[in-house]
Amino acid sequence: MSEARGGPDGDAVSGFAARYGFDRGLVEEVAWLVRITEYLAEGLGGCVVRGGMGVVFNLHGAAPRRLSRDTDVDTPATKEEVESVMAGLAGRYPQLRVRGPHKPRNPGKVLPLLTYYCKFDRIFPPYGTGEVKVEIFYGSRTDGGRTIRIPEYLGSIGPVFSVGVYEPEAIIGHKMTTLAFRTIGIPEGRQTAIPKHIYDITRMLGSPGGVRVDRMAGSLGRIIDNELSYLEDGAMGRDDVLADLDRFPAGLLDGRAKMGEGHRGRLSAFAAGMLGTRYTMSEHLADILLVKAALVLSLDIVRGADAAGAQASLDGLLAGLGRLSGLSMAEKGTKHRKITREAREAGADASVMSNLNPEQAYVYRWLAARKQTGWG
């Protein structure tokens, strides 16, 4: 594992960036992350890639849908085994200056986590020192993982290899826990990451073959319990986290389903930094509402509801959105008026519905029927 290998090729990075519409500096970082992830897959037997590159590996088709600036993995290996493997990374890639492990900056938590920052000299703007982050959770269970071959298009900027990644449902459940902003979720000061998690959840809800709500809920409950076990003071319980998740999307949308100015800025930064395609505010608002619906159903199961009913509800909601997206503009207008009328008859605030586009209104009507629109 220690033989020296080369870093990213400039022409390959430029070609990838031009073909798929990404910034060259970001593609250079991803090219390093592909190499580092391959190294971890070789050195940490049984490791599973979670967020970061795990999302990149899951969200693929003919072209990449988003990129990442970090990779994080779960491994059953011990802390000492992880440190030994990471000590050899600079031998594999002499261009890297590996800094770490760093102690997690999470006051009140004791995490089985080692964080490394891998620095390199950039060959594209912004020139100077570049950096990618590697997070490794040691002594971890890796339930919900599967081995895949990474997308072939990444082979133009790095090696193509097989690696363990989590199933979409496992990643969705994990990302849902980040939305518990007052308890175990993304804290103030790091909330620029919120649009990324919302985007990822909704895209993985559309995974080929569909997703199972019981698996999403199982992942959600398991991660909540894990996060609570890391707390030193034990001042918080599962019910506190569930109540916190019930509040979503408070702080992102107001009571009339309008997006707050602060969150608009976070969205712009995410779309410009990690996506190769246009991602509008309208699409993001629809995604927030869909995440709320998926979260409601997952929380139902965590609290003991019937999984079959929740599955049928999610499948129906996603199928309806699929049919709606295939309509012409005129047909969407007719459908929108029908949705608004039905919502008004059911007691929903029709004035809110009239300010939403058809896709947004469709999900909002579902939430209103479930009495799940009181987050403002």
Tell me which DSSP letter residue 151 carries. Answer: P
pLDDT value at residue 114:
96
SS3 content of the chain, % helix, strand, coil (to 5): 50, 15, 35
Percentage of the residues of the chain whose pLDDT score is greater than 70: 99
pLDDT value at residue 101:
94
Sorting pLDDT into bands at 50, 70 and 90, what band is 367?
Answer: very high
Preceding amide of 249 cis, omega within 30: yes
Helix pair angle (358-369, 281-302), 10° resolution: 20
Mean pLDDT of all residues in 109-114 = 92
Whether pLDDT at 126 is above 90? no
Query: How far apart, in whole angstroms, are the C-alpha atoms of residue 370 and residue 296?
Result: 9
Whether pLDDT at 1 is above 60? no
252, two tokens: 């992102």
Query: How far apart, in whole angstroms, are the C-alpha atoms of residue 216 and residue 173?
Result: 5
CA distances from 88 to 1, 84, 346 (A): 8, 7, 63
How confident is the model over 288-347, as pLDDT tens digits?
A: 999 999 999 999 999 999 999 999 999 999 999 999 999 999 999 999 999 988 888 877
User: Other CB atoms closer than 10 Å to residue 357's CB: what's the count?
Assistant: 13
Percentage of the residues of the chain whose pLDDT score is greater than 90: 74
Name the amino acid, one letter, at 291: V
Residue closest to 242 by CA, chosen among 189, 315, 301: 301
Give 233's contacts (C-beta < 8 A, 6+ positions apart). Answer: 108
CB-count exposure of residue 119 (10 Å: 0-12, 13-18, 19+): middle
How confident is the model over 151-198, as pLDDT tens digits?
A: 999 999 999 999 999 999 999 999 999 999 999 999 877 788 899 999
User: Other CB atoms closer than 10 Å to residue 371's CB: what's the count?
Assistant: 10
User: Other CB atoms closer than 10 Å to residue 280's CB: what's the count?
Assistant: 10
CA distances from 18 to 7, 15, 23 (A): 20, 5, 8
CA distances from 62 to 154, 208, 213, 240 (A): 11, 14, 27, 42
Residue closest to 69 by CA, chosen among 234, 344, 275: 275
pLDDT value at residue 2:
62
| Neighbouring-strand partners of residue 72 | 135
304, two tokens: 């003991």
